[in-house]
Amino acid sequence: MTKKVLVAEKLADAGVAVLRDKGFEVDVKLDMAPEELIATIPGYDALIVRSATKVTREVIEAGKKLRIIGRAGVGVDNVDVDAATDCGVIVCNAPTSNIVSAAEHTMALMLACARHVAQANASMHAGKWERGQFTGVELYEKTLAIFGLGRIGGLVAERARAFGMKLIGYDPYCSPERAEQLGVTLYDDVDAIVPLADFITVHLPKTKETIGMFGPEQYARMKDGVILVNAARGGIYNVDSLADFLAAGKIGAVGLDVYESEPCTESPLHEFSNAILTPHLGASTKEAQLRAGVQTAEYVAAGLAGSIVPTAVNMAPVPPEVMDAVGPYVPACQMMGSMLAQIHGEVPQYLKLTAAGALAGADPSILVAGTVKGLLSYQGRATVTPVNADAVAKRHGIKVETQARPDADGYASTVSVMADGTEVACTLGDAAQHARLTSLLGYKIDIAPGRESLIFEYVDAPGRIGVIGTILGEEGINITTMQIGAKPEEQHALVYVNVEGEVTDTVLANLRAGVTNLKNLWHVKL
C-alpha cells in the first residue's frame, strides 16, 4: 500500500517533488486548525511541518499510522518530541538548511544597527535629508562576542573576521582547536566576557539555562553603547530590562529577529527607533527554503523506507562516518529480519547480530533496529522504528546481543543474525549496494534475494533440482535465479530459488509431495 505524507505548511515544490518521485502520495493541506489536524492525521504515515503548526501529543497519538515527523527547519520547539518517542515516531529536522541565511541575517542586523540603516531609510521616505543624525560606527577592529560557536556561530565568526573584527566567544562545548580555527578567543565565564565586547550576538538553543541568560546584571557590566543582536531563539535577552538600558543609552542599539512569543506585534522595544526588529526572517531566503524542503523530504523518505534518518532528534545521533559505514546495511538487516520471521515462524527469545570485517568497529545499534523492524513488522506483530526498537524487543521478550568479528569470511564486510538458532548472513555485493545472502541455516550460498523466493532443504541426491524445475514449470512459475548450498558431511543440501509467478498453497503441496526426502520448504516474500 502506498504510504501517505501530509504537508501541513508551505514546503518548497522541489521537496514535494522528491516525495512524489519516490512513490509516496503527498497531500498539501495548509492552515489547518488543531482539531482539523487531529481529525486528518490518522490517514497518514508521515507529517511535515515548519514552525507554525503545533504537533501536540493529541496529534501524535491520533496518528496511528504515523512513523515520522519532519520539521522543515532547524528547531523542533513546536513538536512534542517526548510524545513522539513514546509512540515510536521519529522526529527529524533540517539543521543545516538555513545556517548560511541565519548567519547572513545576523550580519545584516549588526550592520543595520551600526549604521542606522532603518532609521535613515525611514527619514528618506519621509522626504528628509538628515545626514548628521545618522553617524554610525565601523565594525572594523571592534570586538565581537559570540555566544554559541556551533554551525551558525562559526559562520558568523568567519564573516565577522572578514570585516576585521576581533573575536571572542563563550561556548562550553566548543573545543579549543575549533575556536582557534575560527580565530575566536574562548572565555569560560559570561561575566568576564561581556565587558569586553562592542557587539554581542547569541547563537544558542532555547533551554532552561539560556532563557534570560542576559538580564540587568549582564547589561550593567557591558560597555557603553554596546550593540546586541539575536537571530537565534527568543528569550535569551530579557526584553523588559533591555528596554530600560536602551532608554538609558547604556545599550546603543539592538537587532532582534526572534521573540519569546511569536508572532510578536508589540513589546517594550517597539517604541525605540534604535531597536531594529524583523519578523523571524533568519531562514526566509529562497535558498534556505529550498534546502529545508528538499532535505526534510529526503529524511522523511528515508524514515518511511526504514533507513537511517541522520537528523533524528529523538534517537542517538549517527555520526557521518558511522552512517556511511552501516547505513547501507540497514535495509539488508530489515530484509534478514523479515526472512527470519518467515522461516522461524515464531518471535525468537534470543537474537544475536554479528558485524564482521569493515563493520566490526561500527555502532551496531541501528543494524539491530533494522533487524527487529523486519522481524516484528512482518504480519503486523509490531510497528518498529529506530526510536522504539529496544523497547519493542524487550516487550516481546527478545534478548538482544551483538558482537564484532574482524574476519568476514573473505568479504569486505558482512552482517549475520541468529534468531534462536536460525541463522542468516549477508553482504552488499555491487556498486548499487544490493544485499546478497552469504549464508542461510549454516549453508554457504551467494545470491541476491528476490521479492519472492522458495527455499528447499532436503537430503542430497541426484535429480532433485530437475523435479523442482519440472513442478514449477508445470505451474507456470519461472525460476529467475538459483543457488545451491551443501553440507556434505550431513548429506544435506539447500536450494534458494527466486521465482516469478503465483506460488499458491497447491504449488507448495505439489512440491512437498514431489521432492523426495524434503526436510523443509519455505515460501518467503520480501
Q: What strand order describes the sheet that includes 68-71?
A: 25-28, 4-7, 46-49, 68-71, 90-93
- Kind of pairing, strands 4-7 and 492-500? unpaired
Homologous superfamily assigned to 319-440: D-3-phosphoglycerate dehydrogenase; domain 3 (3.30.1330.90)
State yes or no: is 381 an active-site residue: no
Tell me, what DSSP letter sits at residue 223? P
- Equal CATH topology for 4-97+287-304 and 99-277: yes
**Which sequence spans correspond to the domains of the chain?**
4-97+287-304, 99-277, 319-440, 450-526
Helix residue ranges per DSSP H, 189-279: 190-193, 216-221, 239-247
Strand partners, 230: 202, 256
Measured distance CA(254)–CA(257) in Å, rounded: 10
Measured distance CA(290)–CA(377) in Å, rounded: 34
User: Whose CA is closest to 8, among 74, 45, 53?
Assistant: 53
Measured distance CA(173)–CA(148) in Å, rounded: 9
State yes or no: is 151 an active-site residue: no
Q: What strand order describes the sheet that includes 199-202?
A: 185-187, 166-170, 143-147, 199-202, 226-230, 251-256, 275-277
For residue 95, cis peptide bond before it (omega within 30 degrees of 0): no
Q: What angle do CA 185, 250, 156 make, to 5 degrees?
A: 35
Q: Which of 280, 396, 405, 523 is catalytic?
A: 280
- Kind of pairing, strands 452-459 and 518-525? antiparallel
Helix residue ranges per DSSP H, 210-285: 216-221, 239-247
Strands of 36-142, DSSP E? 46-49, 68-71, 90-93
Q: Measuring CA to CA, how many Å separate 304 from each of 368, 373, 382, 394, 494? A: 17, 12, 15, 23, 34
CATH node for 450-526: 3.30.70.260
Express as a percent the part of the chain with pLDDT over 70.
96
Q: Please classify residue 224 by burial: count the beta carbons closer than 10 Å to its beta carbon, then call 0-12 exposed, 13-18 middle and 19+ buried.
A: exposed
Q: Which of 203, 233, 436, 464 is catalytic?
A: 233
Homologous superfamily assigned to 4-97+287-304: NAD(P)-binding Rossmann-like Domain (3.40.50.720)
Radius of gyration of the chain (CA): 30
State yes or no: is 396 an active-site residue: no
Measured distance CA(26)–CA(3) in Å, rounded: 9
- Tell me the pLDDT of the chain (526 aa) as tens digits: 899 999 999 999 999 999 999 999 999 999 999 999 999 999 999 999 998 899 999 999 999 999 999 999 887 889 999 899 888 899 999 988 999 999 999 999 999 999 999 999 999 999 999 999 999 999 999 999 999 999 899 999 999 999 999 999 999 988 899 999 999 999 999 999 999 999 999 999 888 899 999 999 999 999 999 999 999 999 999 999 999 999 999 999 999 999 999 899 999 999 999 999 999 999 899 999 999 999 999 999 988 987 778 788 887 666 666 677 788 898 899 999 999 999 988 889 999 999 999 899 888 888 888 899 888 876 565 666 667 777 778 878 899 999 999 999 889 999 999 999 999 999 997 666 789 999 999 999 999 999 999 999 999 989 999 999 999 999 999 999 999 998 888 889 999 999 999 999 999 999 999 999 999 999 999 9
Measured distance CA(523)–CA(374) in Å, rounded: 16
Q: Which of 130, 141, 217, 262 is catalytic?
A: 262
Homologous superfamily assigned to 99-277: NAD(P)-binding Rossmann-like Domain (3.40.50.720)
Which strand (E) or helix (H) includes residue 351? strand 350-357
